[in-house]
């Protein structure tokens, strides 16, 4: 069981597991070639590939899209982000998946309008990942120049391999967590979804 392995062996298991998803590997390779600053592949495509492997499903089952985050605070214009999005659209055109590219330095400009709560500016992609609605989502991977993987997993990997969805009440509203968790349970009924903490519990 990968969740019970020492951390270094969990990282090996992570790479082995994610490598079952050929689309994911292509997105990593092609994103590296785009030259985006401080980029990561993150969120659902990663932990859902793991869930699929653990539960014996095809690696791409239930994966809606592949999220590529990058960080560029030198130009917060929509035009600059759109240039990156268009480059990605061309790079990923032949893949059987939707790849979404977003500049995390711009999130605070639109977050409140979309989710109803303000978002302080992020200072890195890592800080954006830290704010995901579930700690289980807090996983990001990118290719380094030597071809090795850089893995960011602030809450570890055990919950992901154990199919546990745990709330992360630091930024996203409760409704976002519960909506996502309900959608995931439909595709992966084996999940254990932990409840949002009540004020008394915090």
The β-bridge relationship of strands 192-193 and 164-165 is parallel
| Whole-prediction pTM | 0.92
> Who contacts 129 (Cβ-Cβ below 8 Å, separation ≥6)?
40, 42, 69, 137, 138, 139, 140, 152, 154
Q: In the chain, what are the helix, strand and coil shares in percent, each to the nearest 5?
A: 45, 15, 40
Amino acid 201: pLDDT: 47
DSSP E strands, 21-126: 40-42, 66-70, 99-103
**pLDDT less than 50: residues of the chain:** 201-202
Amino acid 165: pLDDT: 98
The β-bridge relationship of strands 140-143 and 40-42 is antiparallel
pLDDT in tens, 36-48: 999 999 999 999 9
pLDDT in tens, 151-185: 999 999 999 999 999 999 998 889 999 999 999 99
């Amino acid at each position: 069981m990968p969740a019970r392995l020492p951390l270094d062996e969990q990282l090996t298991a992570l790479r082995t597991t994610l490598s079952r998803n050929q689309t994911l590997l292509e997105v990593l390779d092609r994103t590296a070639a785009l030259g985006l600053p401080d980029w990561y592949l993150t969120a659902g495509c990663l932990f859902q590939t793991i869930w699929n492997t653990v539960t014996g499903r095809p690696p791409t089952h239930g994966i809606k899209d592949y999220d590529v985050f990058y960080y560029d605070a030198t130009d917060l214009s929509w035009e600059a982000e759109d240039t990156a999005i268009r480059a990605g659209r061309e790079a990923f055109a032949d893949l059987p998946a939707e790849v979404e590219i977003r500049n995390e330095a711009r999130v605070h400009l639109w977050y409140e309008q979309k989710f109803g709560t303000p978002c302080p500016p992020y200072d890195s992609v890592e800080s954006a990942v830290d704010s995901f609605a579930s700690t289980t989502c807090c996983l990001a991977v990118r290719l380094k120049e030597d071809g090795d993987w850089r893995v960011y997993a602030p809450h570890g990997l055990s919950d992901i391999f154990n199919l546990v969805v745990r709330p992360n009440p630091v930024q996203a509203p409760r409704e976002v967590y519960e909506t996502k968790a309900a959608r995931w349970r439909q595709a992966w009924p084996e999940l254990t979804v932990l409840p949002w903490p009540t004020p008394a519990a915090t």
